[in-house]
Structure 1
Amino acid sequence: MITFETREAMAGGRTSSQPASRLEDESRSLPRPSVRKRIALGVAATTVFAILCALGVWQLERRVWKLDLIERVDRRVHAAAVPAPGPSAWAHVNAADDAYRHVQVKGRFLDSRATLVKAVTERGPGYWVMAPFRTGDGFSVLVNRGFVPSDQDVHEALKAGHGETAITGLLRVSEPGGGFLRTNDPAADRWYSRDVDAIARARGIKDVAPYFIDADAAADSHVLPVGGLTVISFPNNHLVYAITWFGLAIMLLGWMTYAMRQEWILRKRHSGRAIT
């Protein structure tokens, strides 16, 4: 009779443990990170999680600030016109408190040549007409009389009345440097931003205000230059940014939870394995 030795007999009467699963075999063969490395990884992940949450909270705070700014500017734009700040207040004029304030000046346009500044509006490409204005209070201010399309004859639009007049519009802070990825070139009379100081020096205008005024729209919208084209827009994407940061934080937290669970499972398997 042919007999077969049992596994127990081959093992000398000892009962071996059940074969481990392939996953367990592979997990045993893989090098496990040291305790120090695991702690360092946990600290790094926790730090990144805290930073992502902080960025999300910061964006929510920025959103509150932006909504308040929009509300304040809206009140300024639709308020009754007030006298434009004089020399005694120039040192305190700033974008946060004065930009887009509805102001009024009385006086006359100077004979000094107006400055054409490159512009792109809802009416297409063209120029802003920046004309020097002498107020009855003894100071000068640049007035953006409005927009002239590039395909129109600008010479007629450059003519300003010489009599006493009142100008109402929105106070705008100076735009130094340039725009459209180009730098202002006073020597060549090429202007890409409404840089009050540079324009005043180029035209020899004294005692000029550190701001300019965007003139309100005229009764006839077909008369050049066309005023009232000020674009007031404050991008408010802070809620989207906050959701993004918080979303990344949640994803990282999920990964951390998964990694900790896998570590716990491996520890349990190793501690519960019978050694015979």
Structure 2
Amino acid sequence: MTDAGTSGERRGRSPLGLAILSAIGIALIAGFVSLGVWQLQRRVWKLDLIARVEARLHASPVAAPPVADADDTYRRVTARGVFRNDRETFVQAVTERGPGYWVLTPLVGPQFTVLVNRGFVPAEKRAVHDRPTYPVSVTGLIRMTEPKGGFLRSNDPVQDRWYSRDVAAIAAAKRLGPVAPYFIDADATANPGGYPVGGLTVVTFRNSHLSYALTWFGLAILTGVGLVILWRGGRDRSSE
């Protein structure tokens, strides 16, 4: 019994086993360090994004363009035209004011049509909010389309049930024809009667990349300590 146990212990301490464990440990360290470096790079990107968005939020508005892409998100713009109130769309929303709807209304300008998120209305104000029929000027932030729907909820154009601000789908369902491929989040300029309530755009960016990086680097250090202990144990056993 003693001989068998001693033989098994020696096999567990073989140079091949030590080499395999060492290779795995080194690979883990390399992976953890790579992930830590990647998180630091993500942190630099996130800080740059936050700085750019902050600059856009405080910049003077420019004329709304007929097209825009993700690089234009949160740019302040002004659009002029007439609202097509008969084609407005209600998108379910949960805001700091509670549950309700975003009111998306086509703004028909001299050159193109753009959807405007005029703001939030609670359910009881859905039918009685302000609907101007005269030419207006809207200032707000460019936002990118939100295709398909919300979390676990798909938009249902046939039933006119919307969970996300899907520009293309809304334009098709409301028969708007060509529209700008983005929507404008209206600013906090008050509407007659108080609704819709604009200026509720949430502009926050989670930035936990430094803590993630430190976690990965910490795991690399712990793995390195484990390797040192393993190597010392192997050296001590080889000298027996």
Q: What TM-score, normalized to structure 1?
A: 0.81
Query: 2:180 aligns to what SS in structure 1?
Result: strand
Corresponding residue to 2:128 among 149, 152, 156: 156
Aligned to 1:199: 170
Cα distance in 1 for partners of 2:141, 2:102 equals 15
Q: Give runs of aligned pairs for residues 83-162 of structure 1, distance below 5 A.
A: 83-86=63-66, 90=67, 93-95=68-70, 97-136=71-110, 138-150=111-123, 152-157=124-129, 159-162=130-133
Residues 40 and 79 (structure 1 numbering): CA distance in 2 closer, same or farther, change over 3 Å? same
**CA apart distance, 1:220:** 6.3
Aligned to 2:50: 70
Larger radius of gyration: 1
**Is the CA contact 1:186–1:198 (under 8 Å) kept in the aligned structure 2?**
yes
Aligned residues: CA RMSD: 1.7
**CA apart distance, 1:169:** 0.4
Query: 1:208 aligns to what SS in structure 2?
Result: coil
Q: How many residues align?
A: 235
Structure 1 unaligned regions, length at least 5: 1-25, 271-276
- Give aligned-pair identity as a percent: 50
**Is the CA contact 2:125–2:195 (under 8 Å) kept in the aligned structure 1?**
no
Runs of 4+ more than 6 Å apart:
26-29
Superimposed CA distance per residue, residues 155-190 of structure 1 (whole angstroms, 9 cap, x where no aligned partner): 112x52111111100000000010132000000100
Cα distance in 2 for partners of 1:28, 1:176 equals 64
Moved more, 159-168 or 254-263: 159-168
Corresponding residue to 2:10 among 11, 31, 42: 31
**CA apart distance, 1:94:** 1.8
**CA apart distance, 1:112:** 3.1
Letter in 2 for 1:31: R
Task: Select the structure with the greater relative contact order (CA < 8 A; seq sep ≥ 6).
Answer: 2
Within the alignment, does 1:170 sit opposite 2:141 as a pair? yes
**Is the CA contact 2:18–2:234 (under 8 Å) kept in the aligned structure 1?**
no
Residues 56 and 222 (structure 1 numbering): CA distance in 2 closer, same or farther, change over 3 Å? farther
**CA apart distance, 1:78:** 1.1
Letter in 2 for 1:206: G
**Is the CA contact 1:148–1:226 (under 8 Å) kept in the aligned structure 2?**
yes
Residues 198 and 107 (structure 1 numbering): CA distance in 2 closer, same or farther, change over 3 Å? same
Corresponding residue to 2:203 among 232, 237, 260: 232
Cα distance in 1 for partners of 2:118, 2:216 equals 44
Q: What TM-score, normalized to structure 2?
A: 0.93
